[in-house]
Amino acid sequence: MSPKEAKSRYRQIMAEIAKVGLCLPGSLVERTSRCGSAGCHCHTDPTKRHGPYPSWTRSVGGKTVTRTLGPDQVERYKPFFDNSRRLKELVQELEALSVQVVSEAEGWGTPREGSHNVGDTPDNVSSTTVQGH
CA distance 88 to 110: 24
Least separation in angstroms between CB 25 and Zn ion: 30
Using CB under 5 A as the binding criterion, the count of chain residues that bind Zn ion stands at 3
Residue 35 as a binder of Zn ion (CB under 5 A): the answer is: yes
Residue 74 as a binder of Zn ion (CB under 5 A): the answer is: no
Nearest to 21 by CA among 64, 59, 77: 77
Residue 40 as a binder of Zn ion (CB under 5 A): the answer is: yes
Residue 42 as a binder of Zn ion (CB under 5 A): the answer is: yes
Stretch touching Zn ion by CB under 5 A, among 6-14, 17-25, 42-50, 84-92: 42-50
Strand runs (DSSP E) across 37-96, as ranges? 50-60, 63-68
CA distance 67 to 55: 5
CA distance 48 to 69: 20
- Nearest residue to Zn ion by CB is 40
Nearer to Zn ion, 9 or 43 (CB): 43
Residue 32 as a binder of Zn ion (CB under 5 A): the answer is: no
Read off φ and ψ for residue 107, nearest 5 degrees.
65, 30
Note the residues at the interface with Zn ion (CB under 5 A): 35, 40, 42
